[in-house]
Amino acid sequence: MSNNLSLDGCDLVNLALKYGTPLYVFSKGMIESRCREIKEQFLKRYEGSRAYYASKAFLTLAMCQIIEKEGLGLDVVSGGELHLALKAFFPAERIILHGNNKLRQEIETAVEKGVSRIVVDWEGEIDIIDAVSKTKGKRTPILLRVTPEIKALTHKYIQTGHRGSKFGIPLERIPFTVKKTMSLPNVELKGFHFHLGSQIDDYRTYLDAVDVVTKLMSDLRDRFGYIAEELDIGGGFGIGDGENARTKPISYFTDPAMERIKARCSTFDLPVPSVAIEPGRWITSEAGITLYTVGAIKEIPGSCTYVSVDGGMADNIRPALYGARYRAEVANKMGRDKDKIVTIAGRCCESGDILIENLPVPGDIESGDILAVFDTGAYNYSMASNYNMLPKPAVVFVDEGEDILVVERETYDDLLVKQRGIGSALRV
């Protein structure tokens, strides 16, 4: 009987041998389970509610197919994400378009294809949407992204709701923006949106933002007679670190938020708006494992032992970008005593390319071992680069003992497809 690490009935060491490393592996069943929890604990419990998967966390054709099948909507933030979704035949009427600086071409595509909502991030964007909608003979539904001036307890690089954030319209400008929007014939203001950041562990952060935005809604009703039909409270629901904390159920965040929205609307004598959420990492992060092959091992007396792998910041920039922490196991040596402490180093030519510090591993770790890094299903594939001309890894889905390749590994030639020489001056 093998002592190798497995996921959904698939031996991860065998997958590494079959597809090569680095390799992103995803549990299809876990993704589906998270989607179904959202349906059961949120969509079915609250009338008119909606859930959009935040596709920036992880987006492929196969992922779009899962989200479509599970009945969720899709949150996209660029023309590229929108293009991929449409290529996957994802229904445009279940897509919501975000972005703090949308290109006119992106807005044109969104309006033409009939996306569900465009979330307006700055005042001038409304004029563009109105003009584009006029040329296409449409009236486009929009939400205004409000900056509620709430500072979430998370890394400053992933805070998005505080004053000074690059995202959203400042609170004091919302009344002017609403008044302007109400006068335009080709946009339809459905309500408001806010987003507070990523990896938020405390539901009370959302309650603070709800208080701000519902007071705003009341003021706008009194001032302009405007009644908001919709409120999108964003995403950013955190996951546990797997050792000291477990991931909280979606209801931990949504139930208190819904209770507060209802209570505040009652206080202000407002109709309760339909509410939307935008989970991303919460759906995919724990479904993903990245496999690496161990290479160089350097023991530095009085310092540390570096265990280098065949990937690094090119396939997982998050530790270098904002100190993200990960767990890992030597997949082919499960069950052995972990009597050695090492630092997992990437292969990129940067001193900051360190994936994990102070990782306990078996004392006989050696070149050729397979390292499995957990919880890499969000923002790893999405943020992967070709730094140092490294090809991006393949992506494999596993489900009940079966594996399927959903993204092919890049080749060196793939990296040169768009390059051009300079004629006779180039000698190869």
CB 119 within 8 A of CB 98: yes
End-to-end CA distance of the chain: give it in Å, rounded.
Answer: 52
Options 35, 64, 265, 349, the catalytic residue:
349
Q: Cα dihedral angle (83, 87, 89, 90), rounded to 10 degrees?
A: -30
Q: Letter for the amino acid at 374?
A: F
Residue of 376, 291, 342, 329 lying closest to 57 (CA atoms): 376
Q: Dig out the tokens for 238 from the structure.
A: 């955190």
Alpha-carbon distance of 238 to 375, in angstroms, equals 12
CB 228 within 8 A of CB 180: no
Alpha-carbon distance of 60 to 85, in angstroms, equals 8
Residue of 96, 93, 113 lying closest to 105 (CA atoms): 113
Q: Letter for the amino acid at 167?
A: F
CB 110 within 8 A of CB 86: no
Q: What are phi and psi of 139, to 5 degrees?
A: -120, 115
| Whether 349 is catalytic | yes
Q: Dig out the tokens for 183 from the structure.
A: 């006068």
Residue 218: burial class (beta carbons within 10 Å; 0-12, 13-18, 19+):
middle
CB 145 within 8 A of CB 117: no
DSSP string, 213-276: HHHHHHHHHHHH-----EEE----B----SSS--PPPHHHHHHHHHHHHHHHHHHTT-PPPEEE
Query: Active-site residue numbers?
Result: 349
